[in-house]
Structure 1
Amino acid sequence: MAQHQRTVSSNQLSTPHSVSLKVLRLSRPALATQTPLLKTSFGNGLDIPPSASLAHPSANPDSSYPLTPLLTLPSAFGAAYVGETFACTLCANNELTSDSTKAVSGVRISAELQTPSNQTGISLELSDSENQPSANELQVGGTLQRTVHHPLKEEGTHVLAITVTYTETTLDEHGGASGGRARTFRKLYQFVAQNLVAVRSKVTALPQRSKDSPRTWSLEAQLENVGEASVFIEKVWLREDEGLEGKTVGSEQGIVLKSMDVEQVMFVVREGRGGDEKGKRTLAQLNIEWRSAMGQRGSLTTGWLSSKG
């Protein structure tokens, strides 16, 4: 699931655990690609029909379109971007066999996320999957699943820490309990969250018509797609400070940014009536909302932008 993984067990005994843990990242699928062959006329049985190279049958066998209607799941962890929601499924599996003299019960899963600004970890809320077996009676070959969703707000290294606790019971020849112990283990998964949309802003004070007229500023921002895939900017808007009014210049909706593309947006911020503050002024926060090629939502809010004086 992640780039690095480490297991920490609190049991001093080195006997194998009866429960294993699998962590699967939940990601949107992608459209399968294909590389159609060109039509040839070599003869003597050397020609390969272009339809043989298609991943999906096409009404036009001579089409060179690289995308197909087939969906593929990601084969690797992929990139984690700031502003998007990180989601994964945690699976605790009963690895005992049907002839085992042990039984597993009381399985519990907990999760924490260590972020660059919080190394102690944030406790994550886990949601139950539908039609899940009871944790008190995890049968042989059974799986207990929990799902976690967490918005990524910081750039840098994150560590997902999963702790599994369960009771391992020893059975006698009649199937009754002859002993038992509580067991626990912990796994760490490390991944890096990186920026998808980089924002560079500039605030400029506009000339006043008169000494008593309200102050006005222009707020310019450059939005750059620093990720690997294209994004669709749905909306760019301002959250103005109290006593200020903002207005867009042009359209800040429906922008498609390919990788490394840059788009510039602009707003005019004006003091409302009665504004008599002088000097440096807190103006607004810039909010960007986007979708990935397969519809996954993301959003980013900058810090408060201020005038120079």
Structure 2
Amino acid sequence: MGLSGLLVLPQSFGAIYLGETFCSYISINNSSNYEVRDIIIKAEIQTERQRILLLDTSKSPVESIRAGGRYDFIVEHDVKELGAHTPVCTALYNDGDGERKYLPQFFKFIVSNPLSVRTKVRAVKVG
């Protein structure tokens, strides 16, 4: 198989607030007994209105990850939109037989408003 789909992070991992920075440490692990080559890694966040690219190694792929090895990186994004956010991490690589493999991983978190302001208007009768 090469790179496995083993998740350390739950598919849905909670909420953060508007204005915070989403920051994630991502580790691509080669759990096979052979080297994987020409690894293209993409990380993005999808919202209801847009896709934000956080990492794309397609112009300079990771040359190889040895058996038992890993490739680590950190992504960050300033959250400016309320609602559901879906971080998507994908790896495209050649396995030990030279076969091209694709591994997508999806996660989800909710962006909430940190403040709630309520007003009440009252009419004052004069007279």
Q: Same fold (TM over 0.5)?
A: yes
- Picking from 157, 164, 169, the partner of 2:91 is 164
Indicate which of 99, 117, 125 corresponds to 1:181.
99
What are the superposed Cα offsets for residues 66-122 of structure 1, whole Å, 9 maximum, x if unpaired? Answer: xxxxxxxxxx9343111100011121100113xxxx43112221012111222xx22
Question: In the TM superposition, what is the alpha-carbon distance from 1:186 to its structure 2 partner?
Answer: 1.2
Q: Contact 1:24–1:89 at 8 Å: present in 2 too?
A: no
Partners of 2:95 and 2:64 lie apart in 1 by 12
State whether structure 2 residue 6 is matched by structure 1 residue 79: no
Q: Which protein shows a greater Rg?
A: 1
3-state SS, counterpart of residue 13 of structure 2: coil
Give the 3 Å change call, closer, same or farther, for CA 78–157 of structure 1 in structure 2: closer
The Cα shift of 1:137 comes to: 2.9
The residue that corresponds to 2:42 in the other structure is 110
Which runs of no fewer than 5 residues in structure 1 stay unpaired? Answer: 1-16, 26-75, 127-133, 171-179, 202-309
- 1:136-175: CA deviation from partner (whole Å, max 9, x where unpaired): 23111111012110011111111111111111133xxxxx
Residue 30 (structure 2) aligns with: 94
Q: Distance in 2 between matches of 1:112 and 1:20?
A: 19
TM-score normalized with structure 1 length: 0.33
Q: Which amino acid aligns with 1:146?
A: F
**Is the Cα–Cα contact under 8 Å of residues 105 and 167 in structure 1 kept in the other structure?**
yes
Tell me the distance in 1 between the aligned counterparts of 2:8 and 2:112. Answer: 21
How many pairs align?
A: 113
Find the aligned partners of 2:65 and 2:35 in 1 and give their Cα distance: 8
Moved over 4 A (4+): 21-25
Length-normalised TM-score, structure 2: 0.74
In the alignment, is residue 146 of structure 1 matched against residue 52 of structure 2?
Answer: no
Unaligned segments of structure 2, at least 5 residues? 120-127
* Aligned residues: CA RMSD: 2.7
Contact 1:112 1:124 (C-alpha < 8 Å) held by counterparts: yes
**Identical amino acids, percent of aligned pairs:** 32
